[in-house]
A and B are shown apart, each in its own frame.
Chain A
Amino acid sequence: MAAAGNGKLLAVENLVVEYPVGSKTVYAVSDVSLHVDRGETLGLVGESGCGKSTLGRAVLQLRRPTAGTVTFDGTDLTKLEGEALRRMRRRLQLIFQDPIASLNPRRRIGDIVAEPLVITGVTDRDERDLRVRAVLTAVGLDPDLTMGRLPHEFSGGQCQRICIARALILEPELVICDEPVSALDVSIRAQILNLLEDMKRRYGLTLLFIAHDLAVVKAVSDRIAVMYLGRLCEVAPTEQLFARPAHPYTALLLDAIPVPDPSVRPAVNVPIGEPPSPIAPPSGCRFRTRCPRADQRCADHVPALREISPGQLAACHHPLGVAN
């Protein structure tokens, strides 16, 4: 795709994240492998509880994986600890869904945005001030009208701009955006999506863009990975995924998107039922309990992620558009 092709910046291999809830185990991420090329945006979509946010956190080692590796620019982050991990983390940043909740309500915007500089030992106040002003201007805010004020004086969209400024001030290489626009209104959402695209170009960023909304993910991603109940279903270049989904779950997600056009009949073939619990995922293919194509093989064997067509991987025994 367009900006990609300069080698892998991030490679996640056989990642497993499990954690206990009472006496049970949540299988949040099960054997997921994916990579993000330098300069690329990889969209990660799935419904709530599919493990997409857990995966994002496991990449940053905010939640330590149970197994597997997370290789960032040649270094396995799962092996790092303490100062070495902190040093590496400066090159990776995270933007959260709720921009208001992720800003300390008692601190001034200037201090919030400067905080990463303080933490990383930039002691010169003037230099910090200069860099804060530059990054606030870059995200479309007037530093003079912003730095002295508190988060509650700003709208959700402006708070998300502030969060983006804070994430960018250390000039990271990889930014993980976890549902960055889902809490925003439609008119503001477009502003923030455009801003993320601008910032990506300006700062040469690589993005892992996590969201549940396929239309939003499509707008920014070079490739898309679809997750269901802790496992990857499909990975494909964006336009290919939309034109020829191979996994029945991807097709279901595409059908369920409400289209703002009355001449498009809403899908009526959305199967009844909801994702099962990640505490007791189905055997074999985890989507089989809702899949119109499922048979005994799907219950007995976990389908491996395999190449269906060039660049398009799917984990399905009976992929769409392929003769069995």
Chain B
Amino acid sequence: MTGQPLLSVEGVSVELPTPRGQLLAVDKVDLEVAAGRTLGVVGESGCGKTMLSRAILQLLPKKAALSGRIMFDGQDMTRLSPEALRRLRGPSLAVVFQNPMTSLNPVLTIGTQLIETLQAHMGMAAAAAAKRGVELLAAVGIPAPEQRLRQYPHQLSGGMRQRVAIAIALSCEPKLLIADEPTTALDVTVQAQILDLLAREQQRRHMAMILITHDLGVVAGRTDEVAVMYAGRVVERAPTTTLFSHMRMPYTAALLAAIPKLDSPPHTALPAIAGRPPDPTRPLQGCSFAPRCSHADDRCQRAKPPLGAADHIGSQYACWHPLQPAAMARA
């Protein structure tokens, strides 16, 4: 990490009211992303990864209560006016969502949506914006971009729509791109192309990126650092290669073990994680993973382990009984 991080999330919590009581979606999360770096945020559904990204973007539901600080490029996002936020989103901070069909406006052409963004945020004239729009579509690998500008989202395939959404997100040269499950709705061959595209543009523009996904396979080859979330908290955080070589948190190891391996023979029983994540409206007193963890003891039930400071290999984990190298081989 070099100097001041571009984004620093400091003690951020998000609470949502539900009919069953307050739901703690994000629980005191700390994260940093430096310029030009990629952070992977991994977790299963309901772990709070999307709420965290909404908090960073200041796009939380109205009833959500946010606490903590989100410093982006020297400003606290939580204290900015709606007008200041609007100026920030686009030119500085952009997002690509999971479903490109719902993030694009179905009644406007691709061109209108792309050109509108350029005019609104970059102050471009219509002709210049149209020319830039063609360049952007070509850059994200869309053939015949001039014709595509005149088409509507429904006339494009899922992969092409996601390319358009990426072109719009990149159009204002953002400093940070948040990609929230950008390939989950796509086929595997198209997923590989979109991930390659994001990685290429991220490097070319020296842009910071947060890649949110449920798939450890997606973050493995394409991020600098990974934060693993469980039940609203970051439970392990490490440089990507360290995370995979020295997993300390039993949850991360169990998550990796549960993925079918390409090199194991058919009909190999998978080490499944028993049970399921805790009810977020009924927070546990101890470690949230304890009820499913094979290493858990009394202490884990009683006291919540804090996310420790980084150890000598840059790894942070929230666990009373972190895995040791020998145990890691078994996990």
B189 with A186: CB separation less than 8 A: no
> Given the complex, which residues of B lie within 8 Å of A272, measured CB to CB?
141, 193
Selected contact of A190 from candidates B159, B192, B265, B270, CB within 8 Å? B270
Q: Which of A253, A258, A272 has the most CB of B within 10 A?
A: A258
Check A194 against B192 for contact (C-beta < 8 Å).
no
The interface residues of chain B lying within 8 Å CB-to-CB of A215 are 259-262
Q: B187 and A185: CB pair below 8 A?
A: no
Main secondary structure of the interface of B (DSSP, over half): loop
CB of A256 within 8 A of CB of B191, answer yes
Residues of chain B with a CB closer than 8 A to A219's CB: 260, 264, 266-268, 270
**B271 adjacent to chain A (CB < 8 Å):** yes
- B209 → A minimal CB distance (Å): 15
Task: Report yes or no: A242 in contact with B188, Cβ–Cβ below 8 A.
Answer: no
Is there an interface contact between A220 and B267, defined as CB atoms closer than 8 Å? yes
Selected from A185, A197, A212, A258, the residue in CB contact (under 8 A) with B218 is A258
Partner of B267, one of A2, A255, A260: A2
Please judge, given known A-B contacts A187-B272, A221-B266, whether A270 and B192 are in contact too, CB under 8 Å. yes
Residue ID in chain B nearest A181 by CB atoms: B260
A262 is an interface residue with CB less than 8 A from chain B = yes
Instruction: Check: A104 CB closer than 8 A to any chain B CB.
Output: no
A187-B44, A260-B216 are contacts. A274–B258 as well, Cβ < 8 Å?
A: no
Q: Report B209-244 residues with CB < 8 Å from chain A CB.
A: 214-218, 220-222, 240-241, 244
How many residues of chain A get a CB closer than 8 Å to chain B's CBs?
Answer: 49
B323 to chain A, nearest CB (A): 16
- Given known pairs A187-B273, A215-B262, A274-B159, the reply for A259 and B188 (CB within 8 Å) is no
Question: Nearest-CB distance from B66 to chain A (Å)?
Answer: 26
Interface: A188 (CB within 8 A): yes
How does the 8 Å CB contact mask read for B68-103 relative to A, with 1 for contact and 0 for none? 000000000000000000000000000000000000
Taking CB as reference atom, which chain B residue is nearest A43? B266
Q: Check: B144 CB closer than 8 A to any chain A CB.
A: no
Q: Say yes or no for B276: interface residue by CB 8 A criterion.
A: yes
- Find residues 234-275 in chain A having any chain B CB closer than 8 Å to their own CB: 238-239, 242, 252-253, 255-268, 270, 272, 274-275
A239 neighbours in B (Cβ, 8 Å)? 265-266
The yes or no answer to A13 lying at the interface (CB within 8 A) is no
Q: Is B313 at the interface (CB under 8 A from chain A)?
A: no
**Residue in B44, B188, B292 whose beta carbon sits within 8 Å of that of A212 in the complex:** B188
- Assess A185 versus B141: contact at CB under 8 Å? Given A253-B188, A262-B241: no
Q: Are B260 and A187 in contact (CB under 8 A)?
A: no
B221, A274: Cβ atoms closer than 8 Å: no
Residue B203 at the chain A interface, CB threshold 8 Å = no
Query: What's the nearest-Cβ distance from chain B to residue A13, in Å?
Result: 26
Given contacts A47-B188, A212-B187, contact A187 B240 (CB under 8 A): no
CB nearest to B199 among chain A residues:
A266
Q: Please determine whether B262 and A262 come into contact, CB atoms closer than 8 angstroms.
A: no
A198-252 residues at the B interface, CB under 8 angstroms: 212-216, 218-222, 238-239, 242, 252
Is A191 at the interface (CB under 8 A from chain B)? Answer: yes
- Chain B residues near A238: list those with CB within 8 A: 266
Q: Contacts A261-B244, A265-B221, A266-B195 hold; do A194 and B269 have CB atoms under 8 A apart?
A: yes
Q: List 29 A-B contacts (CB under 8 A).
A: A2-B267, A186-B216, A187-B276, A187-B292, A188-B272, A190-B260, A190-B271, A193-B270, A193-B272, A194-B270, A194-B272, A197-B267, A197-B269, A212-B188, A214-B262, A215-B259, A219-B267, A239-B266, A256-B191, A256-B192, A260-B244, A260-B256, A261-B244, A263-B241, A264-B220, A266-B195, A266-B221, A270-B192, A274-B189
Q: Residues on B close to A: CB < 8 A?
A: 44-45, 141, 157-160, 187-193, 195-196, 214-218, 220-222, 240-241, 244, 254-256, 258-262, 264-274, 276, 292
Given contacts A187-B273, A239-B266, 6 further A-B contacts (CB under 8 A): A2-B267, A190-B258, A197-B267, A219-B270, A256-B188, A259-B262
Closest 10 CB pairs of A and B: A258-B217, A190-B272, A219-B260, A47-B187, A187-B273, A190-B270, A190-B258, A185-B44, A266-B221, A256-B192
